[in-house]
Amino acid sequence: MEDQKPSPEPIQPVRTPVVPPRPAFPWGIVVPVIVAAAVLSVGITLFLVKGSFVPFLSQIKNTPSSVKKSQTTVPTDIPVIPTGTTCDVSDNAFCIMLADLKSAISSKNYAGFLTYHNRQSVICDPDGMFVAICEEAAKGVVKQGYGLGYNESEGTVATKESYVTSVSAYVKTNGPFSYQGSLVSGDKGIAVFLNPGKDHIIAFPVKRSGSTWRMDHLLLGGTFENEAFTTLSNSLLDLVP
């Protein structure tokens, strides 16, 4: 019996593992995403910057221009002359009084003169010189009122009502009156108002009294061609008692 040779093993084919190909990088998707992210980032940045910058601009825009200027602080304990008031003397208290007198004349508030008027006491005497406030008063009665002087003539003392009535009638007859000027020397001063013809006056002969000025009488009447009232001669201070 013949020896049988073993049949040869069939040769198995060598199989190379199939590696699936790597997909190409998806640039078509990534690029739009990157662009969108960049746009979003810029938008957020602008929003934040605008949010903080706009109020700053608004703050600058709304800042009053006066802040850039130096401002003077006026002490509250010192009287201030009203704006628009002209005054030709250096005494602040006198100028405040003058502003009030000008206002009283322009508004025909003649009772306003009495703010700077001293009250006068009179012992009435029917047998003596006539004094308006003593009319029909018994002898020895003491009356108080306000002095009215008449240039180059006698004066009188009147009640508040009579005082205002007399001044009003005088202005109506001889006015209107405008400011001519003032003089101040030491504790004496005078403010002069003249009518258009400069032949009648309203004059305030005043004396310093503490921190203000006061008068014993108001001076009315004609100038009688005395140029001292128009030239403001220092001789007018002799009218201050």
> What CATH number is associated with residue 184?
3.10.450.50
Place of tokens 């009435």: 124
pLDDT of residue 2: 47
Q: Give pLDDT tens digits for 87-115.
A: 999 999 999 999 999 999 999 999 999 99
Query: 186 and 100, same structural domain?
Result: yes
Range of the domain at 43: 25-62
Note the pTM of the prediction, 2 decimals. Answer: 0.65
Q: What is the pLDDT of residue 55?
A: 44
User: Which three-class secondary structure state does DSSP give residue 157?
Assistant: strand
C-alpha separations of 128 from 123, 125, 135, 140, 175 in Å:
10, 5, 12, 11, 33
What's 186's DSSP letter? Answer: T
- Counted domains in the chain: 2
Q: Is residue 48 located within the same domain as residue 126?
A: no
pLDDT at 120 over 60: yes
* Residue 203 · residue 84 · CB < 8 Å: no
pLDDT band at 15; cut points 50, 70, 90? low
Asked whether residue 213 falls in the same domain as residue 105, the answer is yes
In a domain, 16, yes or no: no
Q: Could you tell me the CA-to-CA distances from 184 to 18, 88, 221, 235 in Å, in that order?
A: 123, 10, 22, 12
One-letter amino acid for residue 28 of the chain: G
**DSSP, residue by residue, 52-84:** HHHHHHHHHHTS-GGGGS--PPPPTTS--PPTT
- 102 and 174, same structural domain? yes
Residues 130 and 45 in one domain: no
Domain boundary among 41, 62, 83: 62
**Omega of the bond leading into 26 within 30 degrees of 0 (cis):** no
pLDDT at 47 over 50: no
Average pLDDT score, the chain: 78
Write the pLDDT tens digit of every residue in 192-224: 999 999 999 999 999 999 999 999 999 999 999
Q: What is the pLDDT of residues 126-173, one digit of tens each?
A: 998 889 999 999 999 999 999 999 999 989 999 999 999 999 999 999
